């Protein structure tokens, strides 16, 4: 089983969007029994809160559910539980490494480093552009799933 955790600053915009998109991709490929997915924040600002209305609205446009999703903060136990800890931007990656005490572990990745884009996923909380975020998250999630299928599921 491969365990994937998406992480952003508040766990209300980018990481829950990535969790929902990735979960949907996994479901469509009938891989729910071999891939699990979750999301978390580096901050404690939105613990227990649902995703941002903009995230929910954008995902509804694509018939992707956010049911049951609530914000939570990253903790040290996540490092042991998850095989992939995916940050949305360079700042998230730095904070994930600091919080988990793992300065340079290969399981900690920036989402779009798996694509040709190799850029940060902009935070729509500040930009207001949930479509751009959705498009980039989807690109990154597709690349991550392809990577997992080759490296983990082909064994």
Residue 14 designated active-site: yes
78, 89, 120, 123: the catalytic one is 123
Report angle CA 149, 26, 152 to the nearest 5 degrees. 20
**Phi, psi (5° rounding) for residue 37?**
-145, 145
Q: Which residues contact 129 (CB under 8 A, 6 or more apart)?
A: 122
What are the start-end ranges of the E strands in the chain?
Answer: 2-8, 35-41, 84-87, 108-110
13, 14, 23, 72: the catalytic one is 14
- Residues with active-site annotation: 8, 14, 123
């Amino acid at each position: 089983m491969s365990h994937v955790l998406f992480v952003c600053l508040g766990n209300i915009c980018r990481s829950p969007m990535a969790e929902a998109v990735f979960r949907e991709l996994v479901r469509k490929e009938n891989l729910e029994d071999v891939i699990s997915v979750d999301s978390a924040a580096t901050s404690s600002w939105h613990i227990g809160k649902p995703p941002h209305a903009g995230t929910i609205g954008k995902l509804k446009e694509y018939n992707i559910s956010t049911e049951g999703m609530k914000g939570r903060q990253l903790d040290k136990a996540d490092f042991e539980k998850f095989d992939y800890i995916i940050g949305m931007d360079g700042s998230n990656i730095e904070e994930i490494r600091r919080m988990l005490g793992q300065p340079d572990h290969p399981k900690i990745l920036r989402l779009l480093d798996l694509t040709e884009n190799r850029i940060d996923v902009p935070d729509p909380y500040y930009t207001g552009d949930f479509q751009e975020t959705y498009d980039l998250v989807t690109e990154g999630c597709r690349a991550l799933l392809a990577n997992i299928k080759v490296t983990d599921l082909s064994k």
